[in-house]
Copies of this chain bind each other. A is one copy, B any other.
Amino acid sequence: MADYSKGSAYIDGQLVPIAEAKISLLDWGFLHSDATYDVVHVWDGKFFRLDDHLQRFYSGMDKLRMSIPYSQEQVQEILSDCVKATGLRESYVEIITTRGTPQPGSRDPRLCSNKFFAFAIPFVWITQPDQGLHLVISETQRIPAASVDPVVKNYHWLDLVKGQFEAYDKGGETAALVDAEGNIMEGPGFNIFAIKDSVITTPANGVLQGVTRKTAMQLAHEHGYEMIEGTLTADLLRSAEEVFATSTAGGIMAISKIDGKDVGNGGIGPITKTLQEAYWALHEHPDYAIDIDYSS
């Protein structure tokens, strides 16, 4: 029997073990990174905010002029099947639409049949909730929205990867990229929030409209914290009492060090901790959680 314990994938209408999950070398999703994707996680046997992820995914396809022959309900079913096959109660689940393979000799993206892929693998953490990250403010600029719309979740990561290497070189773990004016944008796979005088600030534009970002903002509002979507300067980040990152791959994660210096007392600050606990508690809420039936 096929071994799905390391993950499963849905490719060309079939469920396969993750080790067999492959894409044509000629697909423009690879050769032009002409693709959009989304990642949802499964926690304690439940999808979290799957509808939000699916809506963003379909909106991204629209903007790239792509389409797939599946409804949101059908994609949900495919994803359930992927997770069920693995038996994983905690899982990192990715959906992808690529431009597809060009007609022989053609360079016209309109002639491609778009391709849909999905896979489920064990949960991937940027960092565990009880650990703080060491962030380095990178000199690399995040690809601007005038070039690539960050609202369409995309694989254009060479700037983020460059930032990661800069961070490693400086003894850090991950990086914050900046805009042309040096303001903080986002990191490799996460949005960034700074807290000063109990006011929480996160960049408004030029960044992914993360589902975890949205959840953090919603929880901050419910807990009565003031939240500014605006400009996050490097100075504000450096002088913040608390800093955290948000991502489907880890939730709300404390940033405990910036450029080698402790943020606050170098631990996980009280507001970050409050939001973190509220975030994981929300995973039981019927408005946001969809149970996976592992029995059938």
Which residues of A line the B interface, CB within 8 A? 6, 9, 11, 18, 21-26, 28-34, 37, 64-65, 94, 96, 99, 104-105, 107, 109-110, 117, 119, 121-126, 140-144, 146-148, 152, 154-162, 164-165, 168, 180, 188-189, 249
Contact = CB atoms under 8 A, between A and B. Distances in A.
B109 A164 contact: yes
Contacts of A154: 158
Contact of A143 (B29, B121, B123, B147): B147
Nearest to A168: B110
Given A105-B122, A144-B144, A147-B143, A32 B117 contact: no
Nearest to A127: B107
Oligomer: number of copies: 2
Given A107-B124, A188-B107, A21 B32 contact: no
Q: Which 8 A-B pairs rank lowest in CB-CB distance, beginning with the nearest?
A: A22-B22, A32-B157, A33-B33, A21-B25, A141-B146, A147-B159, A143-B147, A33-B155
Contacts of A18: 25-26
Contacts of A123: 105
Contacts of A189: 107
B25 A119 contact: yes
A155 B32 contact: yes
B155 A146 contact: no
Contact of A144 (B94, B104, B147): B147
A96 B27 CA distance: 14
Given A109-B164, A180-B146, A157 B33 contact: yes
Nearest to A25: B21
